[in-house]
Amino acid sequence: MARVYDNMTPSRAIEAAMVRFYCGIVSWSKGDVGLCIDDPELAHCLMWYTALESYVNLPASSQNPLRLEWLKSAQDNDAGLQQKLVGDPQHFRRRVFQGANLICHVPNPHNDSQWSICLTDSNVDATIEFMHNLLNHPSHNILLKGLRLYHHPQLSARVKQFHCDVCQRVKSGTRGYGHFPPRQVTLLPWEQNDVDLIGPWRIEVGGTRSQRNSYEFYALTCIDRVIGFPDAIRIDRKTSAHIAEKYKEVWLSRYPRPVATAHDLGGKFIGPEFQNLLHDFAITDLPTTSRNPTANGIVERMHLTICNVLRALTREQHPRTLQAAKDMMDSAIATAMHAVRTNVSESTQNLPGALAFRRDMLHNIPVSVDLPAIQQRRQAKVDADLLRLNSKRYSHGYRIGERVLKLIHDPIKLDDRWEGPYPITRVHSHGNVTMELRAGILERINI
């Protein structure tokens, strides 16, 4: 009786050649889509082989804990385990599993239901690797729980020392290596400011529904990094030339010249007109990197206050002309700036306006500011945040010649998260290292 296997692909030609070599009763050609075997026993063997091949999670290894003969052979050849069986019979006993007499560890001599199969130094690593692949690359803690039916004095330590190359390349939620260096807080007002755009705000202008038009508004916001004093102005165009003119109007013409200006990588800030303005005023350009977009987070937090004020005003007022909408936006921005300047800052415990002018914002009285105390509070907060971040990372000192993996930013969903390894050629301060990507190609990155 012949058995036909449908959906035969050329990749199964190896099986056909194997059976043809031994019995010569297989017929298969390139144009066929099936495999015909006349011998029922050979057909049954091929079915078993195909079913076994479909177990994609089962590692193909003859040395695995599922083979009880392999465990028994390792136990019989381990003199130390045999000595424990004789010297400590209360905790080491034999149990029969499918005809195999294995040595098991019993932690409680009065409770035989709690036992675990003993592993030897020769097969514990192979067992860990097999179970790691069988359980589909779990974490160390999950893998240790999966090995609960096995016993070895150093099982937990061996599991933590086990490293899988696949896991290191594809998993992204791993703890980092190396602690972040300490950061010194400086308290020098008007030294650095942060600029950014906020918007768009869509406002409907007009009376009846048929006459309404929707307009978008943007604003340029600036804030001093140390004292948190803000200012903002409405803009008409998102071009580099217009932004440069508005920045000169809202900040450079009113307050002390900053030493540095931080901004994002938008075209209005990295354009030639804005960059030339910074160069003419001898202001250091501090753009945020694409991998650290929250570097100017202080100005982003100010945007929350401005948006809350604008939402309240737009619910109460309904402009009928475009000029009325612009006037409403200017009024909303001024109200938001006054709210930020007259509210106590959480980081400084003072009013931003009082820190800027040494006068109270609501009463014309002088205000004394203890800048060293503010610096100490900020330094304590920075140190506490640093301890919290470093507690989630492994303590590790990078060395020259050490091979490391490099994080892949914005990978495709099923692609690797890490690439490498690459050798370290130089270790810098502040958590920076230089690695050699290719011969003569170096890259300096932060840990």
Mean pLDDT, 10 residues at a time, over the chain (447 residues)? 42 47 44 48 48 49 81 90 89 88 89 88 90 87 90 91 82 75 83 87 70 79 88 91 94 93 89 94 84 56 74 74 84 85 82 88 86 85 87 84 81 76 86 86 82
Tell me the C-alpha distance between 399 and 382, whole Å.
27
Q: Where a domain ends, among 11, 27, 53?
A: 53
Q: Sign of dihedral through CA atoms 96, 98, 100, 105?
A: negative
pLDDT at 54: 44
Beta bridge partners of 261: 193, 285
Q: Minimal CA–CA distance to 240: which of 289, 200, 276?
A: 276
Tell me the C-alpha distance between 287 and 223, whole Å.
15
Residue 32 and residue 72 in one domain: no
Tell me the C-alpha distance between 43 and 35, whole Å.
10
Tokens of 247: 């920045």
Residue 202 and residue 333 in one domain: yes
**DSSP strand pairing (213-224 vs 100-105):** unpaired
Residue owning tokens 């936006």? 329
Residue 341 and residue 211 in one domain: yes
Tell me the C-alpha distance between 315 and 309, whole Å.
10
Please say whether the beta carbons of 253 and 222 come within 8 A.
no
Full domain range(s) for residue 30:
3-53
The radius of gyration of the chain from alpha carbons, rounded to an integer in Å, stands at 35
Residue 303 and residue 237 in one domain: yes
Domain membership flag for residue 187: no
Please say whether the beta carbons of 392 and 180 come within 8 A.
no
pLDDT at 157: 92
Q: Minimal CA–CA distance to 218: which of 282, 317, 306, 130?
A: 306
Output the domain CATH number for residue 72.
Answer: 1.10.340
Tell me the C-alpha distance between 323 and 92, whole Å.
90
| Residue 246 dihedral angles phi and psi, to the nearest 5° | -70, -35
pLDDT at 272: 93
Tokens of 258: 């900053």
Residue 341 and residue 200 in one domain: yes
pLDDT at 296: 54
Residue 121 and residue 198 in one domain: no
Q: Sign of dihedral through CA atoms 50, 51, 53, 56?
A: positive
pLDDT at 17: 44
Residue 226 and residue 360 in one domain: yes
Residue 212 and residue 355 in one domain: yes
Tokens of 200: 């768009």
pLDDT at 24: 44
Tell me the C-alpha distance between 162 and 125, whole Å.
8
Domain count, the chain: 3
CA distances from 281 to 191, 233, 277 (A): 13, 20, 6
pLDDT at 200: 83
Classify 379 as helix, strand or coil. helix
Output the domain CATH number for residue 266.
Answer: 3.30.420.10
pLDDT at 52: 45
Classify 377 as helix, strand or coil. helix
Residue 201 and residue 296 in one domain: yes
Residue 42 and residue 89 in one domain: no
pLDDT at 254: 92
In the 8-state DSSP scheme, what is residue 179?
P
Residue 197 and residue 249 in one domain: yes
Residue 209 and residue 341 in one domain: yes
Beta strands in 206-312 (DSSP E): 213-224, 230-235, 260-263, 284-287
